[in-house]
């Protein structure tokens, strides 16, 4: 019950979320694996050693892909709208009244946050990153959105 008291007096309507540009991340990761594989295939070592080189490079590739794909965002709930401002100067805005429900799908490296709309439009998807990041305000953001009357599903 004491943990919820944090939310009761919440006046802050801005939330920092560690978002990730998912397309850039996947491109960097796959390109990195291809480059390491090409380099390893040219080395004069056994096939098992080549496979181990590629496998050993994966943590570094994941780290670099995550760092180079960061697109931190600040989410605001104001005047019946959700406004998302990204580090790269992009901005998304949509009305809370148009949201049918919010789906939060946990993944190993973060969350896929999807907003589904009442009028059947394509859902908005945002990738939250948990790898190599400090804690962000996702729980407070979801609580604030639920307080605005939006249905929430954690899948």
Domain containing residue 109:
12-20+70-154
66-120 pLDDT, tens digit each? 999 999 999 999 888 999 999 888 899 989 999 999 999 998 888 999 999 988 7
57 and 75 share one domain:
no
CA distance 59 to 28: 13
- Tally the domains of the chain: 2
Q: pLDDT grade, residue 5 (50/70/90)?
A: very low
Q: In this structure, what CATH number is given to the domain that contains residue 111?
A: 2.30.29.30
Residue at 112 is within a domain: yes
Helices (H), the chain: 5-8, 22-42, 47-68, 138-147
């Amino acid at each position: 019950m004491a943990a919820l008291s944090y939310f009761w007096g919440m006046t802050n309507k801005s939330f920092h979320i560690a978002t990730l540009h998912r397309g850039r991340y996947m491109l960097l990761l796959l390109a990195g694996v291809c480059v390491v594989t090409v380099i390893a295939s040219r080395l004069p070592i056994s096939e098992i050693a080549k496979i181990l080189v590629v496998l050993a490079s994966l943590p570094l590739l994941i780290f670099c892909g995550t760092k180079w794909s960061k697109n931190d965002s600040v989410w605001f709930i104001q005047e019946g709208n959700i406004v998302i401002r990204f580090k790269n100067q992009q901005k998304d805005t949509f009305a809370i009244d148009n949201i049918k429900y919010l789906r939060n799908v946990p993944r190993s490296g973060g969350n896929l946050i999807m907003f589904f709309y009442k009028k059947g439009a394509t859902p908005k998807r945002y990738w939250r990153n948990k790898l190599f990041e400090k804690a962000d305000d996702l729980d407070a953001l979801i609580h604030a959105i639920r307080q605005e009357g939006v249905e929430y599903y954690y899948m």
